[in-house]
Amino acid sequence: MNPTIAAASVLAAALAVGLGAVGPGIGQGSAAGRAVEGIARQPEAEGKIRGTLLLSLAFMEALTIYGLVVALVLLFANPFV
Amino acid sequence: MSVMLNGLTSFHFLPLAELEVGKQFYWHIGNFNVHGQVLLTSWIVIGSLVLMSVLATRNLQRVPAGTQNLMEYALEFIRDLAKTQIGEKEYRPWVPFIGTLFLFIFVCNWAGALVPWKLIRLPEGELAAPTGDINTTIALALLTSLAYFYAGFRKKGLGYFGNYVQPVPFMLPFKIIEDFTKPLSLSFRLFGNILADELVVGVLVLLVPLFVPLPVMALGLFTSAIQALIFATLAASYIGEAMEDHGEEHGEH
């Protein structure tokens, strides 16, 4: 195995997950904040808000998971080695 | 890459704590290499689903109890899901498809997390959730693609292609790209989430074998249930989108 490629792959995997977590983190935070605001304003709608929030959180989480998939491919099924 | 893999796998303290990624138990059928462990677990899942349905419908009561009650609850849940996504008029023929997707993925995910597969030793690879294998999820996602094309063509004939230039012809390239990104994102989302769950639990078990991984396992159960729900919801909404009339109002997606 070429050590340069190995080092680059490990670094790229770390960057893929790390940077991939930033965007969804911000998004999830703002979504959860808005949901709390909504619940505070209208406590009787809590059930509905929670359902929608969980669904949209899962969508945002999927973005990080894409980064994770790329990282896993780089670590365990690297096409360049 | 086997060096990195060895670095990870050589870290086991307990016989139960090992990490394996990308090791498969191959069956050679004709010219094909088949992932045996995925086939085994998915047939176990299918078998248990069939068994449950037979048990629930064998002796139907007017006032449901036990298994029948559970399955009626599941059916109502799936029917509501399909109704909200596809619409009151068209949803009925799609309930079996959406329901199959939801139940199969849900039982696969939970079976991978709850059943102690480690007790069964395979020559290579290990039994786990079938949805943690990219081939399963891609098959499910391509089936969804076929389903929504079928729904569109059946409802509108060749007029389905009109969807591609609605509401403005400028959207055409994006709509074509969407046909490819839909199955891609469906399959990667499910695969990534399930594999990530298993890996996180695996890594934690490597570090602290007792008690500490339990909350993460519970979180994994929760996310895998949500992923099944998301897959079914998205499949239903794609089908609904393909059958949508553009004269009427646009429902939320």
Confidence (pLDDT) at B18: 57
Q: What's the rounded mean pLDDT across residues B188-198?
A: 89
Q: Evaluate if residue B200 carries a pLDDT over 90.
A: no
A3-74 placed in CATH 1.20.20.10: yes
pTM comes to: 0.82
Q: Evaluate if residue B4 carries a pLDDT over 70.
A: no
Q: Is A55 on the interface with B (CB under 8 A)?
A: yes
Name which residue leads in pLDDT, B15 or B242.
B242
Q: Report chain A's C-alpha Rg in angstroms.
A: 18
Which DSSP symbol is given to B250?
P
Which DSSP symbol is given to B14?
S
The candidate with the shortest Cα–Cα distance to B21, out of A68, A11, A26, A55, is A68
The candidate with the shortest Cα–Cα distance to B125, out of B39, B9, B26, is B26
Q: Which band of pLDDT confidence, cut at 50, 70 and 90, is reported for residue B20? A: low
Name which residue leads in pLDDT, A23 or B118.
A23
The number of C-alpha atoms within 13 Å of B222 and in the hemisphere containing its C-beta is 10
Note whether A54 contacts B226, CB cutoff 8 Å.
yes
Q: Evaluate if residue B38 carries a pLDDT over 80.
A: yes
Residues of B in contact with A6 (CB under 8 A): 1, 3-4
Hey, of B2, B3, B4, which one would you mutate to test binding to chain A, going by the most A CBs within 10 A of its CB? B4
- How far, in Å, CA of A74 to CA of A66, rounded? 12
Residues of B in contact with A71 (CB under 8 A): none
Q: Which chain B residue shows the shortest CA-CA distance from A73?
A: B22
Q: Evaluate if residue B15 carries a pLDDT over 60.
A: no
Q: Which band of pLDDT confidence, cut at 50, 70 and 90, is reported for residue B213? A: confident
Q: Which helix (H) or strand (E) holds B94?
A: none
Kindly list the residues of chain B whose beta carbon comes within 8 Å of any beta carbon in chain A.
1, 3-5, 21-22, 185, 188-189, 191-193, 195-196, 199, 223, 226-227, 229-230, 233
pLDDT tens for each residue of B60-82: 888 888 888 899 999 999 999 99
Q: Which range among B30-44, B135-149, B171-185 has the greatest average pLDDT?
A: B135-149
Q: Which of A55, A75, A77 sits opposite B230 (nearest CB)?
A: A55
Q: Which chain B residue shows the shortest CA-CA distance from A6?
A: B1
Which DSSP symbol is given to B13?
S
Pairing of strands B32-35, B26-29: antiparallel
Distance of CA B82 to the CA centre of its chain: 16
Note whether B3 contacts A6, CB cutoff 8 Å.
yes
Note whether B4 contacts A77, CB cutoff 8 Å.
no
Q: What's the rounded mean pLDDT across residues B129-153?
A: 92
The number of C-alpha atoms within 13 Å of B167 and in the hemisphere containing its C-beta is 5
Q: Which residues contact A39 (CB under 8 A, 6 or more apart)?
A: A45, A46, A49
Note whether B185 contacts A10, CB cutoff 8 Å.
no
Residues A63, A32, B194: CA angle, nearest 5 degrees: 35
ipTM value of the model?
0.71
Q: Which helix (H) or strand (E) holds B57?
A: helix B36-58
Q: Is B238 helix (H, G, I), strand (E, B) or coil?
A: helix
Beta strand residue intervals within chain B, DSSP E: 26-29, 32-35
AA identity, residue B178: E
Residue found under tokens 């086997």: B2
Residues of chain A with pLDDT under 50: none
- How far, in Å, CA of B169 to CA of B73, rounded? 44
Q: Which band of pLDDT confidence, cut at 50, 70 and 90, is reported for residue B9? A: very low
Confidence (pLDDT) at B13: 46
Tell me: cis bond preceding A43? Omega within 30 of 0 counts.
no
Q: Report chain B's C-alpha Rg in angstroms.
A: 21
Q: Which band of pLDDT confidence, cut at 50, 70 and 90, is reported for residue B246? A: low
